[in-house]
Structure 1
């Protein structure tokens, strides 16, 4: 188990982020300047409103400290490849989705360590593990920012090679994602079963609320329907593998998968249960 956590988990996330980077182009970042308003609305929902909603959910459901921290860690994670795929399936603005994922994934190296350290201190108090913000930032750079940058470079300088490996990387990333989620659940099975009711209810409630909040804010900001669908998905879908990895980095490998990882692991399953009805609704509204 220690080998899976210390080597397999960071490697899995790095491959997932590499697969994200291989699908990106320099134009995805340049688009932020040409379409600044829709991007700003999406970024506001994801970076600001998402953690606030998670904090409110934690208080509403009176979650145990470690589970509460896990909720907050999940809320700090960007969308990842999954949100891009769901935006495409919803017939949303895929270019906007990719731009949001790309920029916020790179910025997470700076935002996530600070917010995670605050959450741990706030909810766990004297029981909080010591968190090195600098160490966490370096780890975030190595397993998220650097692989994305390498992937983008491959796409830019060796487009043909990127096209050949993109499909295989995506399949490998999906397999690793499932493996990590199952391992985290198995390592915390008792805590999982004891808290499944309240944790599952909180996660599903938060997921639905975020999808609706993102959609509502986007429509209030007069974004197009395709843009609004994308902002909804980017607000409501997080990178659960990053959440599990952060939990392991914070608690250390000697303790195995921490209960801090449970919300992200359970969310890796429930987000699809919540997202599918929204996708069907979005597509049906397109036809209507």
Structure 2
């Protein structure tokens, strides 16, 4: 288990983020200026709406403190790489989805550490683990932002190679994601079973609420169906691997995946069970 925490988990996340970078171009970042309204709504939804909804759900369901912190960690994560695939399948605005995933992933390096520390103190009080914001930020930069930037540079200066290896790296990232999620559940199986009655419903409610709010924000601000679909999926699909990793980084004991990682591990499964029917519905609506 030590090697899973210290080696495999950061490596898996780095590969996943590198695969994200390979799919990004300079034009994706420039698109913020071209579509400021849609990007702004999507960014607000991810950076503000998700944590606010997660906080309300953690409080309303009375989650145990460690699981409540884990839920907040999950809510502070950027969108997952698979959000782009699901957006494409749903006939949403793929360019907007890619832009949101890439930029919010970089922004999260700065927003997550202080907010993780804040929510840990809020829910756990004196029992909260000491969160070194600077150390956490540096760790996140090395295993998230740096691989994304490397991927972008490879795509920019060696596009042929990037396009050749991208399918393999995407498949590898998916396999690693599954291994990480299964590992998180296995390491916390007794805790998961003990809290299944409250944890599973809270995460499914979070799933449904985020999809509805993301789609609703698009409609309220008069975005097109494709843009609204992209924002809904980006709001719902979280980078669960990052949540699991951050949970392990703040835990005092690193010999096993901690309870802080459990909500992200479970959400890594439930988010697809809830989102795939939504994707099929949107695909049929816009077909």
TM interval, short-chain normalised? over 0.9
Aligned counterparts of 1:136 and 1:116: Cα–Cα separation in 2: 10
Aligned counterparts of 1:284 and 1:88: Cα–Cα separation in 2: 13
Q: How many residues align?
A: 287
Q: What corresponds to 1:194 in structure 2? A: 194
Q: What corresponds to 1:264 in structure 2? A: 264
Q: What corresponds to 1:152 in structure 2? A: 152
Aligned-residue Cα RMSD (Å) equals 0.8
User: Is the Cα–Cα contact under 8 Å of residues 129 and 252 in structure 2 kept in the other structure?
Assistant: no
Instruction: Please state how far the C-alpha of 1:254 moved relative to its aligned partner.
Output: 2.9
User: Is the Cα–Cα contact under 8 Å of residues 2 and 253 in structure 1 kept in the other structure?
Assistant: no
**Residue segments in structure 2 that go unaligned for 5+ positions in a row:** none
Asked whether 1:206 is paired with 2:237, we answer no
Q: What corresponds to 1:128 in structure 2? A: 128
Asked whether 1:242 is paired with 2:242, we answer yes
Give the match's secondary structure for 2:195.
helix
Cα deviation, 1:173-208, whole Å, max 9, x if unaligned, reads: 111111111111111110010111210100000010
Structure 1 stretch displaced more, 81-90 or 249-258: 249-258
TM-score scaled to structure 2, two decimals?
0.99
User: Is the Cα–Cα contact under 8 Å of residues 65 and 124 in structure 2 kept in the other structure?
Assistant: yes
Instruction: Please state how far the C-alpha of 1:80 moved relative to its aligned partner.
Output: 2.4
Give the match's secondary structure for 2:96.
helix
Q: What corresponds to 1:164 in structure 2? A: 164
Structure 1 stretch displaced more, 131-140 or 189-198: 189-198
Cα deviation, 1:57-111, whole Å, max 9, x if unaligned, reads: 1111110000000110000001121111110110000000001011100111100
User: Is the Cα–Cα contact under 8 Å of residues 69 and 260 in structure 2 kept in the other structure?
Assistant: yes
Q: What corresponds to 1:277 in structure 2? A: 277
Q: What corresponds to 1:70 in structure 2? A: 70
Instruction: Please state how far the C-alpha of 1:252 moved relative to its aligned partner.
Output: 4.5
**Residue segments in structure 1 that go unaligned for 5+ positions in a row:** none
Give the match's secondary structure for 1:62.
coil
Dislocated runs of 4+, deviation >2 Å: 252-255
CA distance 1:163–1:119, shift in 2 (3 Å): same
Instruction: Please state how far the C-alpha of 1:266 moved relative to its aligned partner.
Output: 0.5
User: Is the Cα–Cα contact under 8 Å of residues 17 and 147 in structure 2 kept in the other structure?
Assistant: yes
Q: What is the correspondence of 1:18-167 to structure 2 with a 5 Å cutoff?
A: 18-167=18-167
Structure 1 stretch displaced more, 221-230 or 80-89: 80-89
User: Is the Cα–Cα contact under 8 Å of residues 243 and 261 in structure 1 kept in the other structure?
Assistant: yes
Cα deviation, 1:141-196, whole Å, max 9, x if unaligned, reads: 00000000000000000000001110110111111111111111111110010111
